[in-house]
Structure 1
Amino acid sequence: DEVTIEMINGEVFLNGTIKVILADIQASNGVVHVIDGVLLPPADLQSIVEIAVATPELSTLVGALQAANLVDTLNGEGPFTVFAPTNAAFAALDAIPGGEALTEVLLYHVAAGKFTADDLLTRQIVTTVQGDEVTIEMIEGQVFLNEIIRVDIANIEASNGIIHVINGVLIPPSL
């Protein structure tokens, strides 16, 4: 398995989330870097779809993904960032869109690339797979999408990306 190494805001991260807190400690047989978490092989993680299927509060999302034939897409290699509305979020809609509109709505919940909550707040705007943008901001200590949809659970790691559970359904401006 591979480990990605990247510089984010002047700090070094492994696999996008594990921070190097002490670097370049010389040892007699090499160099040691102290990190703030445990690196797990990707094989230990479930895919975005497997996590959604195993989460009862996301069953409406899973049904919508199946209806729009997007399960195989989100089981793909990715990485993807998925904003996953809860069952209650779908229930709050007057009606769940169907056909092409459903596909547009669902793809508006997916960004190409793996973005943690911190990444999203740094970027503040993410273009979705659907093509329209989602804005991200911190309001009174909570993360909001498009000013009104709150991120309830952030940074759920998947083998092919990351999931952020949200309390509303994002509707693309084009619909």
Structure 2
Amino acid sequence: MERPMKKFVMTSSLALLLSLPVFAANPMVGGEPMLPTKDIVDNAVNSKDHTTLVAAVKAAGLVDTLKSKGPFTVFAPTNEAFAALPAGTVDTLLKPENKSKLTSILTYHVISGSYDSAAIIAAIKKGGGKHSATTVAGGKLVATMEGKDLILTDEKGGKSKVTIADVYQSNGVIHVVDKVLLPK
């Protein structure tokens, strides 16, 4: 009789363990842990590599939107990506009179829904090597693969590589990119 009881206890424990939510370990971003229990904004403010993006999100008035339920997929340019823009561009965009243009650029980096790299790559394969996605700004981004690299091409032909994929958030997923994407 004792044997079946032990088996039942082990089986129940296993069932309990398997029923718990599983979070994939998020990669570190900007030298800091990205917690899947935090939202996009709360994680981004902890990344030393995204201080320009955070300043831009605040200047554009998008904090509340990116803290909302979502879900969102955000292609997050690094400080280096912003620094690669022509001299003075970021300072000009951060001025209050350029809020609409800044908002347009930032929302061009956001897609409604939560799409990890596996989903994007599956869409690329299904699309015969490319997948076009509509951004929150209403523009198009085209995702392709170059070798093992996930590449996004903007409407002006600029290319950005996903350097850190699948940073899960409570309201979506972030993919770190190495260039700022620009709408038409």
Matched, 1:126 2:133: yes
Residue 121 of structure 1: how far off its partner (Å):
2.0
Pairs aligned (count)? 144
Secondary structure of the corresponding residue to residue 150 of structure 2: strand
> Counterpart in 1 of 2:175?
164
Confirm or deny: 8 A CA contact 1:83 1:165 kept in the other structure: yes
Q: Could you give the per-residue CA deviations for residues 117-169 of structure 1, whole angstroms, max 9, x where no partner exists? A: 12112222211100011111110211100062000000001000000000000
Matches of 1:28 and 1:91, distance apart in 2 = 56
Which 5+ residue runs of structure 2 have no aligned equivalent?
1-9, 24-34, 124-130
Letter in 1 for 2:132: I
User: Who wins on radius of gyration, i.e. which is larger?
Assistant: 2
Confirm or deny: 8 A CA contact 2:36 2:169 kept in the other structure: no
RMSD of aligned Cα (Å): 2.6
Which 5+ residue runs of structure 1 have no aligned equivalent?
1-26
Letter in 2 for 1:39: V
Matched, 1:144 2:163: no
Q: 2:59 aligns with which of 49, 57, 67?
A: 67
Q: 1:92 aligns with which of 71, 81, 84?
A: 84
Matches of 1:65 and 1:53, distance apart in 2 = 10
Higher helix share: 2
Matched, 1:47 2:58: no
Matches of 2:11 and 2:148, distance apart in 1 = 46
Confirm or deny: 8 A CA contact 1:120 1:126 kept in the other structure: no
Matches of 2:49 and 2:66, distance apart in 1 = 18
Residue 44 of structure 1: how far off its partner (Å):
5.9
Matched, 1:153 2:164: yes
Higher strand share: 1
Letter in 1 for 2:138: G
Structure 1's consecutive aligned runs of 4 or more residues displaced over 3 angstroms after TM superposition are: none
Q: Cα gap change, 1:28/1:119 in structure 2, threshold over 3 Å: closer, same or farther?
A: closer
Give the TM-score taking structure 1 as reference length. 0.74
Matches of 1:74 and 1:99, distance apart in 2 = 16
Structure with the bigger RCO (C-alpha within 8 Å, sep 6+) is: 2
How much identity, in percent, do the aligned residues show?
39
Letter in 2 for 1:89: A
Secondary structure of the corresponding residue to residue 171 of structure 1: coil
Secondary structure of the corresponding residue to residue 106 of structure 2: helix
Q: Could you give the per-residue CA deviations for residues 46-104 of structure 1, whole angstroms, max 9, x where no partner exists? A: 11001100001000000000000000100000000000000000001111233211100
Matches of 1:125 and 1:119, distance apart in 2 = 13
Give the TM-score taking structure 2 as reference length. 0.71
